[in-house]
Amino acid sequence: MTRGAVILAGLAASLAAQTTDPAKIIEELEKELAAHVRLLADWAGLTRYGSENSEIALKSEPNRVVFLGDEITEMWGQGAEPFFPGKPYLNRGITGQTTPQMLVRFRQDVVSLKPRVVVIQGGSNDYAGNAGPATAGTISENIMTMTELAKVHGIRVVLVSLTPVCDCSKAAQGITLRRPHGRMLGLNEWMKEYAEKSGVGFVDLYSALAQGRVFKRELTADGLIPSDAGYRVMGPLVEREIARVSR
């Protein structure tokens, strides 16, 4: 059995445990299959923002900021809470992405846009195994390489900690099993120390969003993605660090 078949079989079993509606199970399986087809066709997501980047790269903007990340970044602004209105900030998040995928598209989605600052958010999906097995070592190496690439091109860096998770809804059951609290906190501690040593910015969103080790229920939409209230907490913290490294 291929890895894709194993994943789909596991998803089918999970969905069957949550619902007996065959139409719902088929719909979710089709979404999952489509996601894997897209992954095979364009592993790093280079086509996602390619056309838009070509147009933006021609426009000069001295205070441009690029947010590079996964679904935590992509969903920022998709609800009632806007994504930094009036600011020359570009959202380059892609749901489900891992740090090696972000690294592959770093030149296209960050360097070519000539931002003043890049905000790098990612790593949670690495631990979840979205693109295969990952360790703290491989994640940290990807983050270091992205940071070094930014510095070479005169781009200032803000690293964002992994955000908390919780099994706080029916749909989120088992999410902490794929993203263990201890490993998440360990990477956050490394990221903080690395930021200090390398002279880049760091924002500890985990502490701001968590109660103990889990996501505060009122700040998350589903146990993984922040709610509008969660993004309202995140926004000022990230913007303050952008302003600090921009001086």
Residues of the chain with pLDDT under 50: 1-3, 6-7
Q: For residue range 128-177, list pLDDT tens digits in order.
A: 999 899 999 999 999 999 999 999 999 999 999 999 999 987 766 788 99
Alpha-carbon gap, residue 123 to 110, rounded angstroms: 18
Question: How many Cβ atoms are within 10 Å of 108's Cβ, its own excluded?
Answer: 20
Residue type, 141: E
DSSP code, position 13: H
Cα gap 214→58, rounded to integer Å: 43
CB 180 within 8 A of CB 221: no
How far does CA 136 lie from the centroid of its chain?
16
Phi, psi (5° rounding) for residue 89? -105, 135
* CA gap 237, 205 in Å, rounded: 8
By C-alpha distance, which of 122, 121, 127, 100 is closest to 183?
Answer: 127
CA distance 226 to 55: 30
> DSSP characters for 49-102?
SHHHHHHHTTS--TT-EEEEESHHHHTTTSSSS-SSTTS-EEEEE-TT--HHHH
Query: Which pLDDT does position 217 carry in this prediction?
Result: 95
Helix/strand/coil for 168: coil
Report the distance separating Cα 121 and Cα 210, nearest Å.
17
